[in-house]
Amino acid sequence: MMFRSLAFAALLALTALSASADSLQPRDGWVVMETNKGFDQLITDLKAATKAQGMAVVTQAGPTAAAARRGITIPGNRVIGVFNNDFAVRILATSTSAMIEAPIRFYVTENPDGQATLSYKIPSHVFAPYMGEGGSELVKLAEELSQVFDAIARQASR
C-alpha cells in the first residue's frame, strides 16, 4: 500500500514537472513566434533588431545562468525589456499610470529541440487598461509601439 502511494506521488511530481516545462502557447494579446534559431543567437538578433528600430534594451532578467551556478540545468529563458525615452515622454503626457507597463518585454525561451521561441505581449494589449485615461493619443502611441514591436520580432526571427 505504501509503495503504491509513493509511486503515485512520484507520478504526480513528474507530471507537474513536465507540465511546467511545456512550450509557450498562443494566448490573447500575445505573439508567440517559433524560430529555427538557437537561444543565444535569437537573443543577439533581438538586441540588434531592437537597436535597428530605434529602441533600447533597458532590462534583462533570466534564471538560466543563476540556476547553472547552483548546479541546476534548465532551458534558456530570458526576459528583455525594450523601450525608449521618446515613447516614455509621449506616454507620460497621456497617462502617468500607463508608464507602469514600461518597458514592454520580449520573452526568449529555449525549446527541447534547441531552437528558441520569441514571445511578447502586443503593446496595444498592454496599454488597453489605460485607454480611458490616456484617450486617443495613447491609442495611437500603443498602435505605433505595436508596429515597432512587430518589426523587431520579424527582424529578429528571420
Question: 98-146, pLDDT tens digit by residue?
Answer: 999 999 999 999 999 999 999 999 999 999 999 999 999 999 999 999 9
* Overall pTM surpassing 0.75 (yes/no): yes
DSSP 106: E
32-52 burial, b at 16+ Cβ within 10 Å, e below that, comes to: ebebebebeebbebbbebbee
Domain ranges across the chain: 24-157
The answer to whether the beta carbons of residues 76 and 108 sit under 8 Å apart is yes
Question: 41-52, pLDDT tens digit by residue?
Answer: 999 999 999 999
* Unique residue bearing C-alpha cell 509511486: 7
CATH number for 24-157: choose from 3.30.465.10, 3.30.310.70, 3.40.50.300, 3.40.50.1370. Answer: 3.30.310.70
Report how far apart, in Å, the C-alpha atoms of 114 and of each of 25, 34, 76, 92, 150 are: 17, 11, 9, 40, 24
Instruction: Give the residues across from 110 on adjacent strands.
Output: 116
Angle at 133 between CA 54 and CA 32, to 5 degrees: 45
